[in-house]
Structures are given as C-alpha cells and as structure tokens.
Amino acid sequence: MARLHQFVFVVSLLALSWLAMMAVHELGHVIGAVVTDGTVERVVLHPLRISRTDVRPNPHPVIVVWLGPILGSLFPLFACLTVPRRLTTVRHITQFFAGFCLIANGAYVALGAFEGVGDCGVMLQHGSPFWTLPAFGIITIPAGLFLWHGLGSVQHFLANPSLRKQSPWKK
C-alpha cells in the first residue's frame, strides 16, 4: 500500500508541476506582451495540450516569445532561492518545481529548435539565431538537474521506511 501512495504522490506531483510550469511559462509571454504594448487575446492552459498565449497585435514577437521560457525558468528559480532554509519542506517543493521548470523549458526550446515547433518556430521566424535555442537548453537543463540533485536520491525516497509508517488516510 505504501508503494501505491508513493506512486500516486509522484504522478500527482508531476501532473501539478506540468500544469504550473505551463502557467508560469505563459505568464512570461503575457508579461512580454504587456511591456511591449501587445494585446493578449487569450491564454490557453490545458493539462493534455501544449499551452499558448495569443497576442494580437504583437509589435515585438521576439521579446514576447522569449520571455515565456526565460521568465518561466527564472520565476520558479527566484521563488526557490527566496524560501528560508528553515522551511525545509517548502524549500524542497520549490526546488523540485524550479528544477522541473528549468528542465522543461530548456528541453522545449533546445529540442524544438530542430523542428521549429511552437515558440521555437516563432523565435526562428523572427530572427533569433538557431544556436541561441540549443544554448538556452545547455544552460537551463543542467541547472535544473543540479537543483534536483540537491534533493537527494529517488531510490532513497522510494526506500525510505518513514514514508511507510502510517497512511495519512488512516487515523
């Protein structure tokens, strides 16, 4: 039963992280639109689709498109760095989420560069040099992995007997 709880926890954490990462990423696009006098028509967030922000007019599409992954990586990282060390659980959650956002945004931009999909197509279409997209991933993915490494071993988490002491559902 303990393994089932761990499995449900991990799947739930990943699903919530995915949706929250998309929300922070789209917030970056929205901020980009606002600071460049663009008009946000709609933000689409759906857990089973790739999110998007429709901006029309979009006077500075390169700024708007890059602020999605940049701020979508920096906001969670800043949140992680501002949590006091004494709040261990909150710090670990924000550290996991910051790592998740760095890896997800970095992989999306770096790998998407080769197919020109989504934001990457817009970046390339509006003059971003190709090399900047993989370079973004080369910076963010290892940074995210570094944050995750600081959390400890997955095997330790799964083997930790304290996680099997008592189900939170049984009182």
Q: What is the separation of C-alpha 46 from the centre of its chain, rounded to a whole number of angstroms?
A: 15
pLDDT at residue 92, as a whole number: 93
Q: What is the pLDDT of residues 113-140, one digit of tens each?
A: 999 989 999 999 999 999 999 999 999 9
The structure's pTM equals 0.87
Q: How confident is the model at residue 57 (pLDDT cuts 50, 70, 90)?
A: very high
Contact 66, 32 (CB under 8 A): yes
Q: What is the pLDDT of residues 153-170, one digit of tens each?
A: 766 766 664 544 443 334
* Res 171 pLDDT > 50: no
Helices 61-82 and 88-115: crossing angle, nearest 10°? 160
- Mean pLDDT value across residues 3-26: 92
Q: Which of 107, 156, 103 is nearest to 134 (CA)?
A: 107
Q: What is the separation of C-alpha 90 from the centre of its chain, rounded to a whole number of angstroms?
A: 17
